[in-house]
Amino acid sequence: MFKGSIPAVITPFIDYEVDYDSLAKILNFLIDNGSHGLVPCGTTGESPTLSHEEHKKIIEETIRIADKRVPVIAGTGSNNTLEAVEYTAHAENSGADAALIVTPYYNKPTQSGLYEHFKTISDKTNIPIIIYNIPGRSIVDMTIETMIELSKIKKIIGVKDATNDLFRPLLTRKKMQNDFCYLSGEDGTALAYLAQGGHGCISVTANVAPKLCSELHSAWQDGNISKAQEINLKLSSLHNALFVESSPGPVKYAASLLGLCNKKTRLPLSEIKDDTKILVKNCLEELQLL
């Protein structure tokens, strides 16, 4: 069972190339500050802009640098089922602990298509699979009924829920017959998601405030609800600031202020506005992270 604070790791760039030295710095920073896992090549890692070779090397490097200190959940999704199979098989062969697979974007598959997409990937690989349901980016929304059917497949073990619908985990858990891992994909409601039966959060904020994020989840797991609430309140302004513009623009700027990497994103994401930069910097200063 995956749980706790799991950063959706940013991909650093320099001169339009992946900056692997900065990636190593970021990964060690996240692990040393208590993160409970890592997700390379997800939305926050700008996976749609990565070449096949870059995608695979980032996953390989993350697994190598993590060196089993924390689990690695590799982002292996695609709107092309055969490509998702290829990425997932590669992650499995590279030693990833699980694969995070997004619902296919742009194609707008039916619920039947979603079921067959995930089943096909599961049939052709042997790695645990976490469904990534994010209708705000992929347009399609996997229904509770489809997720329940997929949960009957042994290797499909959980969901990253980025719907921001806090009733959904309750409705799903009530109907689910097996053990299933529930991970929030929304920093601002992650604590509320834990209260609804969640196990952790695949987080954007944890890229730049990993210690506070890990302490929040550890406090929750220890039953120290008041401490978790206190940390959550501290983080609330930063959670908001990191989504004022399209992510990961703001969080990469925050990471640059911390000296972790360059602020650069790949097109079609452009540099964030000056007002956003001021907001992000103020939030980091408020948390004494600068």
pLDDT at 122: 98
Nearest to 213 by CA among 14, 37, 23: 37
Between CA 250 and CA 171 the distance in angstroms is 33
pLDDT at 177: 66
Per-residue pLDDT, averaged over 31-58, amounts to 97
Per-residue pLDDT, averaged over 156-171, amounts to 95
Per-residue pLDDT, averaged over 99-125, amounts to 97
Q: What is the pLDDT of residues 220-230, one digit of tens each?
A: 999 999 999 99
pLDDT at 16: 87
Question: Which pair of tokens denotes residue 61?
Answer: 């490097």
Per-residue pLDDT, averaged over 42-51, amounts to 96
Between CA 145 and CA 287 the distance in angstroms is 41
Region of residue 216 (phi > 0: left; psi between -120 and 50: alpha; otherwise: beta): alpha
Per-residue pLDDT, averaged over 7-25, amounts to 97
The domain locations on the chain are 4-222
Active-site position among 56, 87, 115, 160: 160
Active-site position among 87, 115, 132, 253: 132
- Average per-residue pLDDT for the chain: 97
pLDDT at 98: 98
Question: Which pair of tokens denotes residue 205?
Answer: 């904020």
Instruction: Clarify whether 132 is annotated catalytic.
Output: yes
pLDDT at 176: 84
Confidence of residue 26 (pLDDT cuts 50, 70, 90): very high
Confidence of residue 111 (pLDDT cuts 50, 70, 90): very high
Per-residue pLDDT, averaged over 84-108, amounts to 97
In percent, the amount of the chain with pLDDT more than 90 equals 97
Between CA 53 and CA 55 the distance in angstroms is 5
pLDDT surpassing 90 at residue 92 = yes
pLDDT at 1: 81
In percent, the amount of the chain with pLDDT more than 70 equals 100
pLDDT surpassing 70 at residue 88 = yes
Question: Domain 4-222: which CATH class?
Answer: alpha beta
Are 241 and 280 contacting, i.e. CB atoms less than 8 angstroms apart?
yes
In the block, residue with structure tokens 């929040």: 216
Q: What is the pLDDT of residues 259-268, one digit of tens each?
A: 999 999 999 9
Between CA 216 and CA 231 the distance in angstroms is 6
Per-residue pLDDT, averaged over 208-223, amounts to 98
pLDDT at 151: 95
Are 164 and 194 contacting, i.e. CB atoms less than 8 angstroms apart?
no
